Amino acid sequence: MSQSHSAASSNTSPSKISIIRPDDWHLHVRDGEVLKSVVPFTARQCGRAIIMPNLTPPVTTTEQAKIYQKAILAAAGEYSAFQPLMTLYLTDCTPPEEIKTAINSGIISAVKLYPAGATTNSEAGVTDINKCYPTLEMMQKLGMPLLVHGEVTHSDIDIFDREKMFIDQRLISIVNDFPELKVVFEHITTADAADFVIESSPYVAATITAHHLLMNRNDMLVGGIKPHHYCLPVLKRETHREALVKAAISGNNKFFMGTDSAPHAQHKKETTCGCAGMFTAFAAIELYAEAFDNANALDKLEQFSSLNGPLFYGLEANSDKITLQREKWTVPDSYQFGDDVVIPLRAGHTINWKLLC
């Protein structure tokens, strides 16, 4: 990574950094008209993005994923080098044969496990992981990664404990029963999850969002409830945020960037039963740069954003670079989202880093 220091700067923090172009290993872009509103934000920054399959209806087959991928490519517009890496939505009855079809197609990079009821559009998700064992067996055999939304869903489990419970009640068995299945523990939010990943085999890795590195649950609940800071897994207490920062900047190649940018129309968030998800794709790498800068670890950003992910997925890193400048800019109050608008993270507030075109 190359850095330059502004002559006026009295400290040693760089005013500009160039890093290998990042990839987003966990992204929601939705479908239909709104694709044109959101895909270019990611395509401008990232070489590739793992596209989440939680549409209605979910993307459960390779055939559906092919159609979805075409629509995303069309929406990328001028950013024609952008590669959407597709995923399949695992259900109780995904046949092992579908994994073969997915591998042979060359367009499916992973299969996503949503426990039924865990999050947005997860109704068709897995009700009993044992039902998926033949399919997981096939995934292990063919080298297809399993991406996990790691939260239990029982109504009697406190929402702040759902990730830890998932590790104890589900993930430990999955990892033990399929020791050579590649597993990405998605958008981890707790020290427990970071520790689990660190202690597991090299087949287990994790994505971390920028918002979980930058915020804790006070940012959602103190001084009034903030619907645009509500996502799943929900923000946790400060000690967990600190553990995530430590993992992200550690240089451990098991941790990589996955924004979980999850846009929803403003009226779906600002209502009596608002849905989960934060829209961060418009400034993904800038938000991560700010988090790493806050931890005096800008020199570790490139590894996290651009090297560890491709290494885990068995891909080359991107061949070009991007440049970020230390420059405060104010985030717009909203962005167009098809016929609606989406409220971005930090709307009306500033971000300290700016991606140069």
Note whether 234 and 213 are within 8 A (CB). no
**According to CB under 6 A, which residues from 14 to 43 bind ligand NCD?**
28
d(CA 14, CA 109): 36
Closer by beta carbon to Zn ion, 260 or else 286: 260
Residue 219 annotated among the catalytic residues of the structure? no
Pick one of 37, 42, 45, 54: the residue that binds ligand NCD (CB under 6 A). 54
Count, residues near ligand NCD per rule CB under 6 A = 11
Tokens of 233: 């897994």
Closer by beta carbon to Zn ion, 113 or else 181: 113
d(CA 187, CA 232): 9
Q: Is there binding between residue 125 and ligand NCD (CB under 6 A)?
A: no
**According to CB under 6 A, which residues from 324 to 353 bind ligand NCD?**
none
Q: Which residues bind Zn ion (CB under 5 A)?
A: 260
Rounded to a whole number of angstroms, the minimum distance from the CB of residue 78 to Zn ion is 26
Note whether 312 and 257 are within 8 A (CB). no
Of the candidates 85, 162, 93, the one whose C-alpha atom is nearest the C-alpha of residue 124 is 93
**According to CB under 6 A, which residues from 226 to 265 bind ligand NCD?**
231-232, 260, 262
Catalytic residue chosen out of the listed positions 23, 24, 192, 260: 260
Beta bridge partners of 146: 111, 183
3 state DSSP class of 229: helix
Note whether 154 and 309 are within 8 A (CB). no
Rounded to a whole number of angstroms, the minimum distance from the CB of residue 102 to Zn ion is 20
Rounded to a whole number of angstroms, the minimum distance from the CB of residue 273 to Zn ion is 19
Query: Cis ω on the peptide bond leading into residue 134 (within 30° of 0)?
Result: no
Which partner from the list ligand NCD, Zn ion, none does 69 bind, CB cut-off 5 to 8 Å by kind? none
Active-site positions read: 260
